[in-house]
A = this chain, B = another copy of it.
């Protein structure tokens, strides 16, 4: 007799396996480059079950982006709250986390920017997912700016978001994580100037 997993986990284990495979493949190679058949193979799941969990590829893409949004922002905020000793250290911690991400071997830019560039013109769902993600990032950074007691928190928050997005795309295209350092320095200068 084999060991049984807990009920709830076993229940959506296929769904999780599919999402794991989608996350890896879609992020690595882009959405249109990955077929449902390859996805099925990677997830180790039958086509019937794949379409049972996600009625269409669009649904799977939406779920992929949704899960990636929460995971990415959770990882960022967790790192910042854990590694920033003081409030003043928070902006630097953001870019430290980015630097570590950029140095990851399979880093390939922002999934939302990539998806938007690929499908934004044809898929309203992708566009709004990207918009929600970037708005949530902006909200977080604006809140951070507000906590810093800066003169115009909305302005600084927006500028930090520009630096984050610029660093991500630059690091992806250049293939080097250095952009995070320049961005961090710029962020510190902007915070200092905004007081």
Q: Which of B108, B179, B190 contacts A189 (CB 8 A)?
A: B190
Contacts of A185 in B (CB 8 A): 155, 159
In the complex, whether A19 has a CB less than 8 A from a CB of chain B is no
Which of A134, A163, A169, A190: most chain B CB closer than 10 A?
A169
Q: Which of B112, B135, B163, B172 contacts A163 (CB 8 A)?
A: B163
Residues on A lying within 8 angstroms of B by beta carbon are 28-30, 32-33, 108-110, 112-122, 127, 130-131, 134-135, 155, 158-159, 161-167, 169-170, 172-175, 178-179, 182-183, 185-186, 189-190, 192-194
Q: Which of B114, B118, B192 contacts A193 (CB 8 A)?
A: B192
Q: Which of B30, B170, B179, B189 contacts A117 (CB 8 A)?
A: B30
Chain A to chain B contacts (Cβ below 8 Å), 20 pairs = A28-B121, A30-B121, A32-B118, A33-B121, A110-B169, A113-B113, A116-B173, A117-B118, A131-B173, A131-B174, A131-B175, A134-B173, A161-B166, A162-B162, A162-B179, A162-B183, A163-B163, A165-B170, A166-B166, A192-B193
